[in-house]
Amino acid sequence: MKQSEKPAHLAQHPPLRDWQQRCLTKALAQLSPEQLHFLCQATPGAGKMLMAAVLANYLLQRGEVDFVLYLGPSCEVVRRAEETLADVTGLAVDGELGARGGCYTYQSLRTRIHALQQLGAKYRVLLVWNESHHAGRVAGAQKGANEWGQALLLLERYMTYTLALSGTPWRTDGSCLPLLRYLDIPADEDLPLKQRLVPDFVYTLQEAVRDGVCRLPYIKLIDNRHIELTISHAKGKQRPKQKQFSSIPRLLRHLGISYADLLRHETAMEAQLTKGVRQLNVLRKSQPGAGGGLVVASDIEHAEEITQWLVDQGEDVCLVTSKTPNAHSKLQAFRDSVQAWIVSVGMISEGVDIPRLRVCCYLSHIRTEQHFRQVLGRIIRRIGLHDADCYLFMLNESLLRHYAHRIADDLPDEKAVVTVVSPASAPDVHGYGNTALGVQLDNITLPAAETVGEAGTVVFGGSSITAAANSGAKPQPQWEHDMAFSQRFIEHLATLKL
């Protein structure tokens, strides 16, 4: 027995919440040779990983599986999952010799795919894949999956069971997720085939707030009623023009102003941060040192600028980015400390567990509903009787406001329903989504190198696949813009309706 292992009868875990026990019971009853896949959709912060670890332990103890394989989106998420699995099962799951499992990032699969296939061919393996939205079909392709989706399909036919975990089980590109169950929606012959995602278990944010599992989120939209925009030609050939705007949404309708401009505008940025600091100070007065604040920046330079501003205000700040030496150690130190603020870009936006966070300032340039909900999930997990609420501050941008007002919709219809390009792309197994590959599984070659950058940027072989500026775009007029805001910034409140 490895030193890191302990007898199964000594394995311990916190008591399961009611939803975790119900999900566990359903998964144990449902997983079978006839149904190999199970999707647990539970709101971020509800405790999906603990439920998954207890399920894995049951399957191991009952002799239904021999090994557990965990896949996650980042090193920090994977590290925490490995700790939870080891604590619950009492077994080593570090992938080393003699271990009963391994925990890996999706991007690391390339160097392990064949070894894991061989493991699955010889033994019974439970595959737990977290944050399932990272896998999907190739962008722009009618068939097939993206690289991480292909890796899952490469593994799946060697796995005994698969357990998918997600609080946001959909993709921004509108494609199906591999291995999950989709049912056809009746439609006329002339309309494209549509399918609806059917999770096997759902635990909503409304239920979590009602049960005291998650905090009630107060989402505060920062706006300004008196904005003046001065437009001048860069070469001074024309007289400056001035325009007045009564709100940030109206300002953003102007072609020359972007949301990214506002995030970096000193006055607008400081207004949002000031409100976040004040709110956190109020919370920490009642519970000194207990609460923490998170700022999600747009990039590393932006994060450094925000950190400097907070330090200048006398705040105790931890900066963690992909360039930070010993970043994971700093995250752990902040988690266990009473430090007030942590500033990052993408490292804390998904899956990272720092329960004492109660305030967030959203200064990310990413405006997808998935990212918005994942960030909100960082501050909603309750840890006691006196932390019933949390606060998210962001600029009153139209898309973000829309997401805030429907936060109670755990799986919005336009996210649950996907369009299948053609019936031929549907899989052979009835009821499962368009996960068929355009090429034979054994012929798939994964990229030579994969790394995950800040803000979810994925780089394959040194080439970023995030949206880039169009090199063929028409040259823009040489205009300069200067925005002036009134001193008074206002708040619009959007909160969960129970």
User: Tens-digit pLDDT profile for the chain (498 aa)?
Assistant: 344 444 444 456 778 999 999 999 999 999 999 999 999 999 988 999 999 999 999 999 999 999 999 998 888 889 999 999 999 999 999 988 889 999 998 888 878 888 999 999 999 999 998 887 666 553 333 344 456 667 777 788 899 999 999 887 766 655 666 667 766 666 666 666 677 778 899 999 989 999 999 999 999 999 999 999 888 766 656 677 889 999 999 999 987 789 999 999 999 999 999 999 999 999 998 877 678 999 999 999 999 999 999 999 999 999 998 888 888 889 889 988 999 999 999 777 766 788 899 999 999 999 988 889 889 989 998 887 788 899 999 999 999 999 998 887 776 655 555 555 443 443 443 333 333 333 333 333 433 332 333 222 212 122 222 223 333 444 444 556 788 999 899 998 887 665
Q: Which two tokens stand for residue 172?
A: 């921004």
H or E segment and range at residue 277? helix 266-286
Query: Phi, psi at residue 390, to the nearest 5°?
Result: -150, 170
Distance of CA 368 to the CA centre of its chain: 11
Predicted pLDDT of residue 178: 66
Q: Measuring CA to CA, which residue among 156, 196, 171 is closest to residue 437?
A: 156
CB 73 within 8 A of CB 347: no
Predicted pLDDT of residue 415: 57
b/e per residue 59-85 (b: at least 16 CB within 10 A): bbeeeebbbbbbbbbbbbbbbbbbebb
Predicted pLDDT of residue 455: 27
Residue 394 pairs in a beta bridge with 221, 362
CB 298 within 8 A of CB 363: yes
Q: Which two tokens stand for residue 104?
A: 């890996």
Predicted pLDDT of residue 479: 55
Measured CA to CA, the distance from residue 134 to residue 483 in angstroms comes to: 38
Q: In sequence order, which residues have a C-beta less than 8 Å from that of residue 130 and are 6 or more positions away?
A: 48, 49, 52, 70, 71, 72, 73, 77, 81, 165, 166, 351
Predicted pLDDT of residue 197: 76
Secondary-structure class of domain 215-409+477-495 per CATH: alpha beta
Strand ranges (DSSP E) for 73-110? 101-105
pTM: 0.78
Query: Phi, psi at residue 139, to the nearest 5°?
Result: -60, 130
Predicted pLDDT of residue 318: 95
Predicted pLDDT of residue 364: 95
Task: Please work out, in degrees rounded to the nearest 5, the angle formed at the alpha carbon of residue 422 by the alpha carbons of 418 and 426.
Answer: 75
Looking at the chain, which residues constitute the CATH 3.40.50.300 domain(s)? 8-207+417-460, 215-409+477-495
Task: Please work out, in degrees rounded to the nearest 5, the angle formed at the alpha carbon of residue 479 by the alpha carbons of 473 and 482.
Answer: 125
For domain 8-207+417-460, the question of CATH label 3.40.50.300 is answered with yes
Predicted pLDDT of residue 397: 94
CB 46 within 8 A of CB 213: yes
